[in-house]
Chains A and B, each alone.
Chain A
Amino acid sequence: MIFFDKIGRYFIFLRLLFTNRESFKTYYHLVLEECVSIGLGSLFLVVLVSTFIGAVSTVQTAYNLVSPLIPRYVIAQVVREMTVLELAPTIMALIYAGKVGSSMAGGLGTMRITEQIDAVEVMGINSVSYLVLPKIIASVIMYPLLVIVAGFCSLFGGYLIGAATGIITPPEFIYGVRFIFNDFTIIFALIKSFVFAFLVSSICSYKGFYTKGGALEVGIATTQGVTNSVIAILIADYLLAQLLLA
């Protein structure tokens, strides 16, 4: 019952985002600020992690493809499929939940316990809409862009490490990346990234927004926000794969 109660509260929270909100002009600057914070703030981590994931995937795929009958460009093909279908949108979403989601939950939780949210509310402003909606919009705009960057960096990491170690030559890698390419996988990755961005930002904001207590509870809310986001991402990942690929 508690589970359904929490789900119900989450959906009421989502409804509050769009009821009695301020004018669009009010949100314009807030969304831009959040985009800069979320996008630029996460860029370095995304580039670093995805480049290494691509490099490691290349090395491990080569290590497992021991048969001389399998051409080496298959390594690049496997790395491409792994990157586009899972590593870029899903693994990055888990990292995104840890970095951006925790920041959202922690920030809103701190605002709650220091009465900043009450201060907004007492002015007659819909605090849910004013404080949370820009975060969700910015997240849904920026995360798919980060996923595109992550996909590119991952393949680039694989390309570099392949060339540097001699596992696969650059022409072979490029051939493998382009071999039997199905462009729907890109659309699928982008759909996943929209869904994951929404889940991370809304769940973490929800947890942070309704924090009660003090500093300890802010920490707990942040942890719960990230944990619940990760679970939601994994469930959504399976459901989307079943719906769109099966």
Chain B
Amino acid sequence: MIKIKDIAKSFDGKMVLEGISGEFEKGKCNLIIGSSGTGKSVLLKCIVGLTPVNAGSVYYDMRNFTDADHDMKAEIRREIGMLFQGGALFDSKTVEKNVMFPLDILTKMKPEEKKERVAFCLKRVGLENAGKKMPSEISGGMKKRVGIARAIVNNPAYLFCDEPNSGLDPQTSILIDELIQDITYEFNTTTLVVTHDMNSVMGMGDNIMYLYKGHKLWEGGKEDITHSGVKELDDFVFANKVMSKMRGK
């Protein structure tokens, strides 16, 4: 479980996040949603420690990550897998080498074991035949799947996904969402997904946190999101034509 408490972050004096608290449960797809520019990605980066917070704390299974020393932070980070918006694959490495990278650096596994694990992960994301390709030779959707394979190769306890289906067609988006959801339930990870895609919200939102202008306005499950009673959230949810029609019915 990940717990955040009173997170605040500003850039050049401008508050981007203020007083954000919440809990993200294990074995569930926890979503952070909101319009563009509301601070979703910043919050995610604050939680993984890529951006230092101005105030507040982040706890990974009761371990205080914010005030931890370097060794403790490194230990926690080794339990984290992250899928970046653009995949963030290393251009100079093949797909196989990209997925193997965390194992090369973080483990003392034998080469055969590493190959086996990489093959398993690539198969899990449906890319068993793409191992020898370079990132420049594969599509955007495949890059995301390689990113997922790299994120799960080291059996992470925490999985973070930053806009996993941005720039993808609707069909591939659904595939990626399903993959993240399946992996979460299969490996019992604490998954945290940042998105503004309503299909993702309705498809995999076990626990949803809605951000608006740097503040948390609502938290709940996908079943409750259509009748939250929060105007800003309603505007966000029913901006989608399909959702709007649903509301009409």
A124 touches B73 (CB 8 A): yes
> What's the Cα separation between A109 and B213 when bound, in Å?
30
A119 touches B73 (CB 8 A): no
B50 beta carbon closer than 8 Å to chain A: yes
Rounded to whole Å, the gap between the CB of A130 and the closest CB of chain B is: 8
User: Are A115 and B85 CB-contacts (below 8 A) given A26-B105, A123-B102?
Assistant: yes
> What's the Cα separation between A13 and B237 when bound, in Å?
45
A116 beta carbon closer than 8 Å to chain B: yes
A17-33 at interface with B (beta carbon < 8 Å) = 20, 22, 26
A243 beta carbon closer than 8 Å to chain B: no
Sorting the interface of chain A by its residue count into under 10, 10 to 19, 20 to 34 or 35 or more gives 10 to 19
Cβ contacts A123-160/B at 8 Å (1 or 0 each): 11100001000000000000000000000000000000
> What's the Cα separation between A125 and B76 when bound, in Å?
12
A119 touches B105 (CB 8 A): no
> What's the Cα separation between A26 and B160 when bound, in Å?
26
Rounded to whole Å, the gap between the CB of B49 and the closest CB of chain A is: 8
Which residues from B are CB-within-8-Å of A121?
50
A122 beta carbon closer than 8 Å to chain B: yes
B86 touches A115 (CB 8 A): yes
Rounded to whole Å, the gap between the CB of B169 and the closest CB of chain A is: 21
A122 touches B90 (CB 8 A): no
B40-87 at interface with A (beta carbon < 8 Å) = 45, 48-50, 70, 73-78, 80, 82, 84-86
Instruction: Pick from A22, A26, A116 the residue with the most CB of B within 10 Å.
Output: A116
> What's the Cα separation between A116 and B86 when bound, in Å?
9
> What's the Cα separation between A130 and B102 when bound, in Å?
13
Which residues from A are CB-within-8-Å of B50?
118, 121-122
B106 touches A124 (CB 8 A): yes
B94-143 at interface with A (beta carbon < 8 Å) = 102, 105-106
Which residues from A are CB-within-8-Å of B15?
none
B88 beta carbon closer than 8 Å to chain A: yes
Query: Which residue from chain A places its CB closest to the CB of B102 in the assembled complex?
Result: A123
Instruction: Pick from B70, B77, B91, B105 the residue with the most CB of A within 10 Å.
Output: B105
A123 touches B78 (CB 8 A): yes
User: Are A122 and B80 CB-contacts (below 8 A) given A20-B70, A115-B85, A116-B90?
Assistant: yes
A119 touches B84 (CB 8 A): yes
A141-197 at interface with B (beta carbon < 8 Å) = none
A125 touches B105 (CB 8 A): yes
Which residues from B are CB-within-8-Å of A119?
82, 84, 88, 90, 150
A61 beta carbon closer than 8 Å to chain B: no
Query: Which residue from chain B places its CB closest to the CB of A113 in the assembled complex?
Result: B86
Cβ contacts A99-127/B at 8 Å (1 or 0 each): 00000000000100011101101111100
B88 touches A115 (CB 8 A): yes
Which of A20, A116, A124 contacts B88, CB < 8 Å?
A116
Which residues from A are CB-within-8-Å of B76?
124
A114 touches B86 (CB 8 A): yes
> What's the Cα separation between A125 and B82 when bound, in Å?
14
Query: Which residue from chain B places its CB closest to the CB of A124 in the assembled complex?
Result: B77
Rounded to whole Å, the gap between the CB of A115 and the closest CB of chain B is: 4
Cβ contacts B169-183/A at 8 Å (1 or 0 each): 000000000000000
Which residues from A are CB-within-8-Å of B77?
122-124
Please name 19 further chain A to chain B contacts, defined as beta carbons within 8 Å, in addition to the given A114-B88, A114-B91, A116-B89, sorted by A numbering.
Answer: A22-B105, A114-B86, A115-B86, A115-B88, A116-B90, A116-B91, A118-B50, A119-B82, A119-B84, A119-B90, A119-B150, A121-B50, A122-B48, A122-B50, A122-B77, A123-B106, A124-B73, A124-B106, A125-B106
User: What is A's interface to B at a CB cutoff of 8 Å?
Assistant: 20, 22, 26, 110, 114-116, 118-119, 121-125, 130
17 A-B pairs with CB atoms under 8 Å apart are A20-B74, A22-B105, A26-B105, A110-B91, A114-B91, A115-B88, A116-B88, A118-B45, A119-B82, A119-B84, A121-B50, A122-B50, A122-B160, A123-B105, A124-B74, A124-B77, A124-B80
